[in-house]
């Protein structure tokens, strides 16, 4: 920004700063996001200089850019924030919860002011005089007026990032109470000399700030092993680098201490989960086998050389800003290339391999390169789920403060990647689910203590790949849902329900429009708007949502989504001269039947018995009015599909095979067609419709 300012001064009014606006707005947004995250993670009791300096740098960067471009309102507010943060980092003031509150509110106001400047509506942003006055009071060492809005003391939200679950061997270890940092169990195995372990222990006493280490006794430890309980803020990789001076990396096993679920808990989906009911016996330390170390290059095998050169030889990650429209255009062109390659492959099947060997070899290489290019381009749109997860700590902090609750927010699988288009569409449904967990699930601290729980509840948000899908879970250790209460509310609303419904069917009732079990309507919940929108939005993304609940223990909501909406795996089926595509994730099985195996019931409804279960039969020929030129031909192939938790059977002429297809939006290019979710272009240039399996299943119910 300094270079821009100098250039402006040297060229006078002829230099147009507006060409840099977009870059500034993007960088300011990133700095505000980073500042908010650091403020939420700030430990008021043990805040170190690096944390406070990092927050200060964010405010300073925004102030400098805003002043350069003439956004005086933003510059003034961030200048006041900078003054308070400067006092904190110089240890002239001690950070308090009220200071964090005012800094977060100021960050929100700065974001709103920047949005006004970006949209050309400067002057319409929020008033900041009150915020400026409160910050000045803190800087002067005064306490702002008690009438000013301050989050209740009961609001506690801690954000924890939990590593992926590992198969571990529990070992009872007496764990001493150590203050500060992460708690680890470190096992040194196969030691040839006891002094090796002594050298590791000395590291913690010699290096200030590394942490505390205490020897513990593990019942199954061998004579050539040593086990330690450690509190440290250093990463596992940093510890391994330090230990390498005394012990080989493969001799070190590091595992974070995690609470083990009570054996008495009868609900499997809480076993080992953060927030599960705690055991009453002494906590168990978990020690997992260390992964086999990767072979190191010759230049890095010596510990001293590695530790001294690690920083200087590590290259910085390079990124480039590219407009989303350009990425979308690139993906569209790759999709067209895939279609063209499929056409060439189909037309080349009739060629004589002996005569056209070189051409066929080139087409085979083209096929391989096209698939590699397709995967590489698709990965450009994939972004980590941490982008979504980072929105919730602030929301939970404010909501817990309003409700007077204490909440730990745990995240798992933040590095799991999802298509950017899906990330934007899944944010709102996840927001509803997390808010519901805090409002309806987590109890008040006093209620939790009476129920034998810790007064702080836990909400866990996790993401993981499963096959060609991503599964996102929202889990809490609150009071769960009451089956009887939901059934009573459903009867009050005139819904046809029975006591014989399974738990899974009862939980699905909460997705009905207007359904709510809240006793009082508040500005947070109670109007029955939210869960029906969640289900509708997830189904629109070809996803599913399932609920598991245990009254008194908590609940889990699982959302399953495809990794991308641009390219999908499909099964091609033929009906007459038409070709239709079924999403492969919805296909259960296929089989051939005799005509007498299909029974007709009611008003021309048809059923087929599949392993003692009757399923509705849907004839695609009738639904899409496919012309039949061969009157002797009959549909005798059946494909079982599953959606919305139900199964139906599609009657088709033949199965053409499995293939990847490029999804084209039919509504954008033509119009919305019932029972169709999109279209694709086949290798011979024909258009094939992609069927909406959810709509077909719902059709069978009516």
Residues acting as catalytic residues: 60, 82, 436
CB 218 within 8 A of CB 187: yes
Find where tokens 């280490």 sit: 213
Please tell me the distance from the alpha carbon of residue 155 to that of residue 444, in angstroms, as a whole number.
11
**In the chain, how long is the greatest CA-to-CA distance?**
92
Chain length of the chain: 702
Please tell me the distance from the alpha carbon of residue 651 to that of residue 621, in angstroms, as a whole number.
8
Please tell me the distance from the alpha carbon of residue 686 to that of residue 243, in angstroms, as a whole number.
64
Find where tokens 């989504």 sit: 561
Comparing C-alpha atoms, which of 697, 592, 595 is closest to residue 654?
592
Lookup: tokens for 653 = 């002429």
- The residues pairing with 658 across neighbouring beta strands, listed in sequence order, are 571
- Going from the C-alpha of 307 to that of each of 24, 202, 210, 246, the distances in angstroms are 37, 18, 16, 13
Please tell me the distance from the alpha carbon of residue 75 to that of residue 63, in angstroms, as a whole number.
5
For 620-654, letters b (16+ CB in 10 Å) and e give: bbeebebeeeeeeeebbbbbbbbbbeebbbbbbbe
Comparing C-alpha atoms, which of 186, 197, 162 is closest to residue 254?
186
Find where tokens 């048809």 sit: 606
Please provide residue 78's backbone torsions phi and psi, each rounded to the nearest 5 degrees: -70, -25
> What DSSP letter does each residue of 468-497 carry, written as one string?
TEEEEEEEE-S----HHHHHHHHHHTT---
CB 412 within 8 A of CB 462: yes
């Amino acid at each position: 920004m300094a270079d821009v300012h100098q250039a402006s001064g040297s060229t006078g009014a002829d230099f147009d700063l507006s060409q840099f606006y977009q870059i500034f707005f993007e960088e300011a947004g990133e700095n505000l996001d980073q500042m908010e995250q650091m403020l939420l993670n700030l430990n008021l009791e043990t805040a170190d200089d690096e944390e406070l300096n990092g927050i200060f740098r964010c405010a300073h960067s925004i102030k400098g850019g805003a002043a350069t471009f003439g956004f005086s309102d933003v510059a003034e507010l961030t200048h006041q924030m900078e003054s308070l943060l400067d006092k904190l980092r110089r240890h002239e003031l001690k950070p308090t919860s009220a200071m964090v509150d005012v800094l977060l509110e100021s960050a929100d106001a700065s974001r709103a002011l920047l949005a006004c400047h970006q949209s050309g509506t400067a002057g319409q942003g929020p008033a900041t005089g009150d915020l400026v006055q409160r910050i000045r009071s803190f800087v002067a060492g005064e306490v702002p007026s008690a009438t000013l809005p301050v989050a209740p003391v009961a609001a506690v939200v801690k954000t924890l990032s939990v590593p992926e679950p590992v198969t571990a061997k529990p070992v009872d270890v007496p764990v001493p109470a150590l203050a500060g940092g992460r708690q680890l169990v470190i096992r040194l195995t196969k030691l040839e000399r006891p002094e090796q372990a002594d050298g590791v222990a000395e590291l913690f006493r010699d290096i200030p700030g590394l942490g505390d280490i205490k020897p513990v006794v593990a019942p199954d430890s061998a004579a050539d092993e040593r086990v330690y309980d450690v509190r440290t803020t250093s990463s596992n990789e940093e510890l391994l680098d330090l230990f390498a001076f005394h012990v080989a990396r493969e001799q070190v096993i590091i595992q974070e201490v995690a609470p083990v679920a009570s054996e008495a808990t009868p609900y499997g989906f809480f076993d080992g989960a953060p927030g599960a009911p705690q055991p009453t016996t002494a906590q168990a330390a978990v020690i997992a086998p260390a992964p086999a170390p990767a072979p190191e290059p010759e230049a890095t095998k010596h510990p001293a050389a590695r530790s001294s050169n690690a920083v200087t030889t590590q290259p910085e990650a390079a990124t480039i800003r590219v407009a989303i429209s350009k990425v979308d255009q690139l993906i569209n062109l790759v999709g067209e290339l895939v279609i063209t390659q499929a056409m060439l492959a189909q037309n080349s099947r009739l060629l004589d391999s002996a005569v056209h060997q070189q051409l066929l070899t080139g087409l085979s290489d083209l096929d391989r390169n096209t698939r590699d290019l397709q995967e590489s381009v698709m990965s450009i749109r994939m972004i980590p789920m941490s982008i979504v997860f980072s929105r919730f700590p602030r929301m939970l902090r404010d909501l817990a403060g309003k409700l007077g609750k204490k909440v730990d927010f745990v995240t798992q699988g933040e590095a799991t990647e999802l298509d950017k288009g899906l990330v934007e569409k899944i944010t709102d449904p996840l927001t509803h689910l997390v808010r519901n967990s805090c409002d309806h699930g987590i109890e008040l601290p006093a209620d939790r203590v009476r129920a034998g729980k810790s007064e702080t509840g836990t909400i866990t948000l996790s993401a993981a790949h499963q096959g060609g899908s991503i599964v996102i879970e929202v889990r809490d250790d609150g009071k769960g849902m009451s089956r009887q209460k939901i059934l009573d509310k459903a009867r009050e609303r005139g819904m046809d329900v029975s006591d014989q419904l399974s738990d899974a069917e009862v939980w699905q009732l909460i997705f009905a429009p207007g359904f709510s079990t809240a006793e009082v309507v508040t500005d947070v919940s109670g109007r029955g708007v939210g869960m029906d929108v969640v289900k509708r939005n997830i189904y629109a993304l070809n996803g599913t949502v399932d609920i598991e609940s245990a009254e008194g223990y908590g609940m889990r909501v699982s959302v399953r989504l495809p990794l991308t909406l641009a390219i999908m795996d499909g099964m091609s089926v033929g009906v007459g001269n038409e070709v239709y595509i079924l999403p492969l994730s919805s296909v259960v099985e296929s089989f051939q039947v005799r005509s007498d195996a299909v029974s007709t019931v009611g008003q021309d409804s048809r059923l087929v018995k599949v392993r003692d279960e009757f399923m509705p039969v849907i004839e695609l020929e009738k639904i899409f009015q496919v012309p039949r030129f061969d009157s002797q031909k009959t549909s005798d192939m059946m494909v079982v599909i599953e959606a919305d938790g139900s199964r139906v059977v599609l009657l088709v002429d033949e199965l053409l095979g499995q293939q990847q297809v490029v999804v084209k939006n039919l509504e954008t290019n033509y119009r919305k067609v019932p029972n169709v979710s999109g279209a694709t272009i086949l290798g011979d240039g024909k258009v094939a419709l992609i069927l909406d399996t959810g709509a077909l299943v719902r059709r069978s119910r009516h």
